[in-house]
């Protein structure tokens, strides 16, 4: 009979494998975004708000919602809203895709971000 310790070790190994697969899927999606031309041409002056530009800039830096919220002096809920709006406007599904799409569209986010 399997002991509780063995079952816990198996469960931890399964969680680690799920985490590894999620990271791999994110990488594949990001590479796919790089290789696939954008379906929607984003017009920076019309489509994104200044706060969405700022959020996208932080996504490009690899920051998480909590860090972005601290830098923008907003709640993490507000950051999640900005991220979801970016996903919808940019037609992407992950933070990595949004960052890569921003780079591909050659948005100069540093100049567009307002303090």
Residue (of 25, 33, 46, 27) closest to 102 by Cα position: 33
d(CA 106, CA 21) in angstroms, rounded, equals 30
Residue pair 101/92 in contact by the 8 Å Cβ criterion: yes
How far is the CA of 61 from the CAs of 42, 64, 67, 80, 95, in angstroms? Answer: 20, 9, 11, 16, 11
Give residue 48's pLDDT. 83
**Which residues of the chain form beta strands (DSSP E)?**
none
Give residue 46's pLDDT. 58
Domain containing residue 27: CATH number: 1.10.10.10
Q: Which domain holds residue 26?
A: 4-112
- pLDDT tens over the chain, length 115 residues: 678 888 899 999 999 999 999 988 888 887 777 776 555 556 555 578 889 989 988 988 889 999 999 999 999 999 999 999 998 888 888 888 888 877 776 554 445 554 5
Number of structural domains (the chain) is 1
């Amino acid at each position: 009979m399997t002991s509780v310790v063995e079952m816990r070790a198996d469960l931890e190994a399964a969680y680690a494998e799920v985490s590894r697969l999620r990271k791999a899927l994110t990488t594949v999606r990001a590479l796919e975004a790089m290789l696939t031309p954008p379906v929607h041409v984003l017009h920076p002056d019309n489509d994104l708000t200044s706060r969405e530009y700022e959020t996208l800039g932080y996504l490009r830096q690899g920051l998480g919602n909590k860090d972005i919220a601290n830098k923008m002096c907003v709640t993490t809920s507000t950051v999640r809203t900005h991220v979801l709006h970016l996903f919808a406007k940019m037609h992407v599904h992950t933070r990595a895709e949004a960052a890569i799409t921003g780079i591909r569209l050659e948005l100069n986010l540093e100049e567009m971000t307002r303090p």
